[in-house]
Amino acid sequence: DQQVKQNSPSLSVQEGRISILNCDYTNSMFDYFLWYKKYPAEGPTFLISISSIKDKNEDGRFTVFLNKSAKHLSLHIVPSQPGDSAVYFCAASGDTGGFKTIFGAGTRLFVKA
Amino acid sequence: GAGVSQSPSNKVTEKGKDVELRCDPISGHTALYWYRQSLGQGLEFLIYFQGNSAPDKSGLPSDRFSAERTGGSVSTLTIQRTQQEDSAVYLCASSPPGGEGEKLFFGSGTQLSVL
């Protein structure tokens, strides 16, 4: 039972263009959605998050959009840089204090110079 | 301050042996998670500790897997009678009390290889 789905295993983008990574979820009880970035041989690191009461959160080149009615979120990276090449994981969690964080399968982003 | 520390970073073992993986979370973090990532796969939830509550063990794949968290700090993941399909990177994460969405801080993982 995959509660968080990332249907694109990989994405290739030209440097300077926009990268759009997508994520779908099934559980309407999730309160927060997070994106993590992972380089090889390292643990994932937090990138950006959004509360379910918002529909957009922006941090520099990174913007996360949330569509609750569609149970869909996306991460936009613009402009994309070669250093952004990594695996991106979408994650969802409920109330802090008791609801475990569930991760998607990840999308490998390649940014070509 | 130090981040989440996991040891060993690499472990090679023979099929049927028991292994213990250790996680030192960030001091003061009340939540601790174990995940594993098999080759080419996503992050699979294993177990979740939150403060003094009973752990959520719903992700443990079999009764060969167990985990403890002593004194609300260090955690040990034990795999008994290892099998080749247990080969994966085992990741530990911790998060502080309160805060938005339980942002997780991950260790670098333990690469387990079962021969």
> What distance in Å separates the CA atoms of residue A92 and residue A42, rounded to the nearest whole number?
21
- Write out chain A residues lying below 8 Å of B97, CB-based: 96-97
Say whether A93 and B99 touch across the interface (CB within 8 A).
no
Instruction: Please report which confidence band the pLDDT of residue A28 belongs to, taking 50, 70 and 90 as the band edges.
Output: confident
Structure tokens at A62: 């990174």
pLDDT tens for residues B57-106? 989 999 999 999 988 789 999 999 999 999 999 999 998 887 556 789 99
> What distance in Å separates the CA atoms of residue A93 and residue A106, rounded to the nearest whole number?
16
- What pLDDT score does B88 carry? 96
Say whether A100 and B104 touch across the interface (CB within 8 A).
no
Looking at residues A81-109, what average pLDDT do you find? Answer: 86
- Write out chain B residues lying below 8 Å of A101, CB-based: 33, 45, 102, 104
**Cβ-proximal residues to A57 (8 Å cutoff; 6+ apart), any chain:** A48, A49, A50, A51, A63, A64
Say whether A44 and B42 touch across the interface (CB within 8 A).
no
* Nearest-neighbour CA in chain B from A32: distance (Å): 5
- What pLDDT score does B97 carry? 81
Calculate the alpha carbon distances from B19 to A76, B16, B24, B74, B76 in Å: 41, 10, 17, 16, 10
- Write out chain B residues lying below 8 Å of A99, CB-based: 102
Say whether A104 and B42 touch across the interface (CB within 8 A).
yes
**Cβ-proximal residues to A11 (8 Å cutoff; 6+ apart), any chain:** A19, A20, A21, A107, A108, A109, A110
**CB A22 within 8 Å of CB A6:** yes
pLDDT tens for residues B12-60? 999 999 999 999 999 989 889 999 999 878 899 999 898 888 899 989 9
Residue B114, pLDDT > 50, answer yes
* Nearest-neighbour CA in chain B from A67: distance (Å): 17
Residue A100, pLDDT > 80, answer no
Say whether B107 and A43 touch across the interface (CB within 8 A).
yes
**Interface of chain B toward chain A, CB-CB under 8 angstroms:** 4, 33, 35, 41-43, 45, 48, 50-51, 53, 56, 91, 93, 97-109
DSSP line for B47-60: EEEETTSPPB-TT-
- What pLDDT score does B42 carry? 84
Looking at residues A56-69, what average pLDDT do you find? Answer: 97
3-state secondary structure of B111: strand
> What distance in Å separates the CA atoms of residue B113 and residue B115, rounded to the nearest whole number?
6
- What pLDDT score does A97 carry? 45
Residue A99, pLDDT > 80, answer no
